[in-house]
Amino acid sequence: MLNYVLRRSLYGVLILIGVNLATFFLFFTVNTPDDMARLNIGGKRVTTELIQKWKVERGYDKPLYWNDAKQGGEKLTETIFWERSVSLFQFKFGRADSESAGDIGTEVARRMWVSLQLALPIFVLQIIASVSFALLLVMFRHTKLDLAGVVLCVVMLSISALFYIIVGQYLFARVFKLVPSSGYTGGLDLLRFLVLPVALSAIARLGTEARLYRAMFLEEIGKDYVRTARAKGLAETTVLSRHVLRNALIPIVTSAGGYLPYVFLGSLVFESFFGIPGLGAYAIEAISRQDFAIVRTMVFVGSVLYIASYILIDIAYTWVDPRVRLA
């Protein structure tokens, strides 16, 4: 397994290099440092002196890709590519482009824990609710309850998450006044601010996940080992929980593992609508301010998390199914 993990990690590094190069070339092809200076200076009177000052403060006055010997023969590290692209592999994110954003690394470290407080309960609740609902439909398969459940799943997956947010905020925050409509705080009061976005996020994905898991369970329930378990006199609930669920864990792990990056990066939509200062809201704010330094950083961090999550998924396969061998 160690050789497999090392090999996948090496592939992941190559993918990161490709993503890093592509994003750097894309951003600096679309916008030059002078363009970024004009965007961030904004409504002020843009002069050559202001542009040069902005570039010097953020290190954009240096050569872009390589050094020019005629300009004094700068070192390789004294280029924008090195400081803004290569340094990401050392998790040195540098300073944001906008005036008030500050150090990116400090903001990422602070906001990551906020995103975890929101995303971890969503992750756990979503898996429990989706698997339980799917098992319930399979237990009453080919009945009116199963048909109603499938129709409900199709309706739920057809509705945008924005609808759940708007209706949920209106009903539970404004009409019934059970929870705040938005905001964030520390301590025990945090539960009051997180209960609504956590519940709505789990509901928004319930239709898609439950329908997928139901199809997996129905595929397993017709196999020989299930008929053998029933022939031994086991109850249907025991057959579903001990046999069907256990043998369907691999696709469940695959589906749930794809959500792991969002556990750290946060939900862009829910953090923005509920005023939660996590990484998702940080990325949205950076896009609205056209802060390309933060956007490039979030793309890089997201790539790292996706690569790490799929390595963890492969390792989890060996845990849920001992027959799987990683070569």
pLDDT (tens digit per residue) in 23-80: 998 888 888 888 888 888 775 577 888 888 888 888 888 888 766 544 555 555 678 8
Q: What is the pLDDT of residue 310?
A: 87
User: For residue 298, is it within any domain?
Assistant: yes
Record the tokens describing residue 155, joined without a space: 């309706």
Distance CA 157, CA 177 (A): 27
Q: Quick one: average pLDDT of 193-222?
A: 92
Q: What is the pLDDT of residue 100?
A: 67
User: For residue 162, is it within any domain?
Assistant: yes
Q: Quick one: average pLDDT of 70-96?
A: 77
For residues 197 and 282, membership in a common domain is answered with: yes
User: For residue 325, is it within any domain?
Assistant: no
- Residue 84 one-letter amino acid: R
For residues 237 and 315, membership in a common domain is answered with: yes
For residues 178 and 201, membership in a common domain is answered with: yes
Record the tokens describing residue 125, joined without a space: 């609740």
User: For residue 217, is it within any domain?
Assistant: yes
Binning pLDDT at 50, 70 and 90, where does residue 228 land?
Answer: very high
Q: What is the pLDDT of residue 70?
A: 46
User: For residue 327, is it within any domain?
Assistant: no
- Say whether 103 sits in a helix, a strand or coil: strand
Q: What is the pLDDT of residue 53?
A: 87
Of the residues 61, 90, 119, the one at which a domain ends: 90
For residues 123 and 238, membership in a common domain is answered with: yes
Cβ 75 vs Cβ 38: under 8 Å: no
Q: How many CB atoms lie within 10 A of CB 249?
A: 17
Q: What is the pLDDT of residue 104?
A: 92
Cβ 83 vs Cβ 62: under 8 Å: yes
Distance in angstroms between the alpha carbons of the first and the last residue of the chain: 7
Record the tokens describing residue 227, joined without a space: 């008929």
pLDDT above 80 for 87: yes
The angle subtended at Cα 110 by Cα 77 and Cα 127, nearest 5°, is 115
For residues 38 and 114, membership in a common domain is answered with: no
For residues 207 and 251, membership in a common domain is answered with: yes
For residues 20 and 119, membership in a common domain is answered with: no
The angle subtended at Cα 270 by Cα 266 and Cα 272, nearest 5°, is 90
User: For residue 98, is it within any domain?
Assistant: no
For residues 111 and 229, membership in a common domain is answered with: yes
Of the residues 38, 66, 90, the one at which a domain ends: 90
User: For residue 326, is it within any domain?
Assistant: no
Residue 172: name the closest of 153, 189, 193 by CA. 193
Q: Quick one: average pLDDT of 231-246?
A: 91
For residues 33 and 153, membership in a common domain is answered with: no
- Residue 172 one-letter amino acid: F
Contacts of 197 (CB under 8 A, 6+ apart): 118, 122, 267, 270, 273, 274, 276
Distance of CA 260 to the CA centre of its chain: 7
* Placement of tokens 């898996």 in the chain: 127
For residues 302 and 241, membership in a common domain is answered with: yes
Q: What range defines the domain where residue 155 resides?
A: 104-320
pLDDT above 70 for 314: yes
Q: What is the pLDDT of residue 69?
A: 46
Distance CA 30, CA 208 (A): 37
Q: What is the mean pLDDT of the chain?
A: 87
pLDDT above 80 for 190: yes
> Which stretch, 4-8, 33-37, 262-266, 299-303, has highest mean pLDDT?
299-303
For residues 168 and 292, membership in a common domain is answered with: yes
For residues 150 and 225, membership in a common domain is answered with: yes
Residue 296: name the closest of 15, 113, 97 by CA. 97
* Placement of tokens 């400090």 in the chain: 106
Contacts of 230 (CB under 8 A, 6+ apart): 236, 239
Domain with 130 in it: what CATH number?
1.10.3720.10
Of the residues 66, 90, 114, the one at which a domain ends: 90
User: For residue 80, is it within any domain?
Assistant: yes
> Which stretch, 107-116, 145-154, 256-265, has highest mean pLDDT?
145-154
Distance CA 212, CA 206 (A): 10
Domain count, the chain: 2
Record the tokens describing residue 127, joined without a space: 């898996």
Q: Quick one: average pLDDT of 222-227?
A: 90
pLDDT (tens digit per residue) in 97-114: 886 667 899 999 999 999
